[in-house]
Amino acid sequence: MKKVTGIIISVFILFISGVIILATVDFNRLGKDHLYVQVDEPMQIDETTLDSGQIVQTFWYESPAYDDEGETTNVEFSATRELREDAYLMLYVRNENEVTSYDEVDWGDIPSAAQEKLASN
């Protein structure tokens, strides 16, 4: 009886741990490279009408982005709202230029090599 109770408790703890991990870990950011960019005007705005009649806009941005060493990569990414112009973003990227997510950051959070490149634009 003690073995069965121990197994049930172990399975329950593993299940709860899995649910917590899935709820708190953002897999779009986990293990990705970081690039830094300054937001400009969107290059394109797509509008899609849902079955409910609601119109959804997608704002597309294209810009050079800089890594921690100041190396340049051209990126294209989208947002579901218009981003604040001249804001600084830290992009989460995989495969060199595939943006999976982003966060707005302060100037002081950007590595100095990327700051130099951003300031020269």
Express each pLDDT in 22-40 by its tens digit.
776 666 555 667 889 888 8
3 state SS of 39:
coil
- Is the pTM higher than 0.85? The answer reads no
pLDDT of residue 59: 92
- Rounded distance, CA 61 to CA 58, Å? 10
Residue 101 is predicted with a pLDDT of 85
Q: Could you tell me the CA-to-CA distances from 46 to 13, 57, 79, 86 in Å, in that order?
A: 45, 6, 11, 21
Considering only CA atoms, give the Rg of the chain. 21
% of residues, the chain, pLDDT over 90: 2
pLDDT tens by residue, 85-116: 888 998 888 887 778 888 888 888 888 888 87
Q: What is the mean pLDDT of residues 73-93?
A: 86
What CA–CA distance (Å, rounded) separates 63 from 40?
8
Two tokens at 10?
């172990």
Q: How many other CB atoms are there within 10 angstroms of residue 29's CB atom?
A: 14
* 67-91 per-residue burial string, b: 16 or more CB within 10 A, e: under 16: beebeebebebebeeebeeeebbbb
